[in-house]
Amino acid sequence: MTADTQHNVTLQIVSIVFYTFIAFFCIGLPIAVLPGYVHDQLGFSPMIAGLTIGSQYLATLISRPGAGRAADTLGTKKAVVVGLAGIAASGALTLLSTLLQSLPDASLSLLIIARLVLGASQGLIGVSTISWGIGLVGSEQTARVISWNGIASYGAIALGAPLGVLMVGAAGFNTLGIALSVLALLALWLIRDKKAVPVLRGERLPFWAAFSRVAPFGLSLTLASIGYGTLTTFITLYYLDRGWVGAAWCLTSFGLCFIISRLVFINAISRFGGFSVAISCMSMETLGLVLLWLAPSPLTALFGAGLAGFGLSLVYPALGVLAIARVPAASRGAGLGAYAVFFDLALAIAGPMMGAVALHLGYGWIFLLASLLALAGLGLTWWLGQRPAADSTL
């Protein structure tokens, strides 16, 4: 591929994953302030705060079969439009929730509904933009599409988290819902003239058939991704527990290192193989989580978060290329949706599980548990790579 061709492919991919950026920017804005809102403003426990954040990921998880089917049958562009409309609705519900802060039960209920709508919308956009991008530039560019989609998502969270803190500090919690709705409506206006790709004809695997094909790689992804769910859900409360300030910058450190790793090593998967890249990256992530567990200062925590982000960056595309190769092209959306379920599962269980650990053992221990789970994912990936049927060159 010539440099000009590669540049053109990158521009096409970026023009599609822009909508992933919008979706995850809307997720990033409240992520560092909602746990404190639920715990401090509404007066609920850390476990309830974790469940509130985790409800979004649970909704994404549950909606994946429908998201994959919509991308395959409705069309990827139409599916993204539906997802953006859902984010706009979530913003309206979030605004209503914050307006009812004096009624904690009602405010929490509306906030959870808003999180559920946001989660389902995220799932629809995430699957559809990847499938749209692959359909636009070809299946041989799968790793690049997944990588750029991740850059868009984590970059958006890295920017959105501190901006959300600044925005709420300057103008109050009501700004969150307004911002979500305005951004989603802007994206709906911009997408109207984007080129759609035709719906592929061919073998349509049922969701659970696609799920079984990608499951070995997906389980490894779950184990590796719980650390990310732990970081995003509890880093604010972890900092407060230790008397530190600047928790949002920990998310920024994670996101920036994640992006740098993907930009610098975007071709590593095609050069070294999915298994080798995944194992190397999981090792680095595990070390970063251990540093967060042992951190004596905010600076060490920032370094640990950055190392975890640098390591986790290529795990999703490295395992994803191996997983998606197991499903036919006409069922790509189903395969992507099934594979993404395992990431959603990690984020859905991280909140309540780590909330319970924090409640009984303290916040530091959640990162030790996350590092042990990442280590287990590393072991599973190594085992999959040793099987005779494994093809580490994919």
Q: What is the pLDDT of residue 47?
A: 76
Q: pLDDT tens across 95-137, in order?
A: 999 999 889 889 899 999 999 999 999 889 988 898 888 888 8
> Two tokens at 360?
């009984």
**Cα–Cα distance between 269 and 350 in angstroms, integer?**
28
Q: Would you say 238 and 365 are in contact if contact means Cβ atoms under 8 Å apart?
A: no
Task: Tell me the CA distances in angstroms from 105 to 40, 47, 54, 243, 337, one per residue in order.
Answer: 14, 15, 18, 29, 33
Q: Would you say 72 and 332 are in contact if contact means Cβ atoms under 8 Å apart?
A: yes
Chosen CATH of 3-386 out of 1.20.1250.20, 2.60.40.790, 1.10.1580.10, 1.25.50.10: 1.20.1250.20
Q: pLDDT tens across 27-51, in order?
A: 889 887 888 888 888 888 877 887 8
Question: Which residue stretches of the chain have pLDDT < 70?
Answer: 1-5, 199-204, 388-394
Q: What is the pLDDT of residue 264?
A: 86
Q: What is the pLDDT of residue 185?
A: 96
389, burial (CB in 10 Å: exposed 0-12, middle 13-18, buried 19+)? exposed
Q: What is the pLDDT of residue 201?
A: 65
Q: What is the pLDDT of residue 202?
A: 58
Nearest to 19 by CA among 94, 74, 63, 78: 78
Q: What is the pLDDT of residue 282?
A: 96
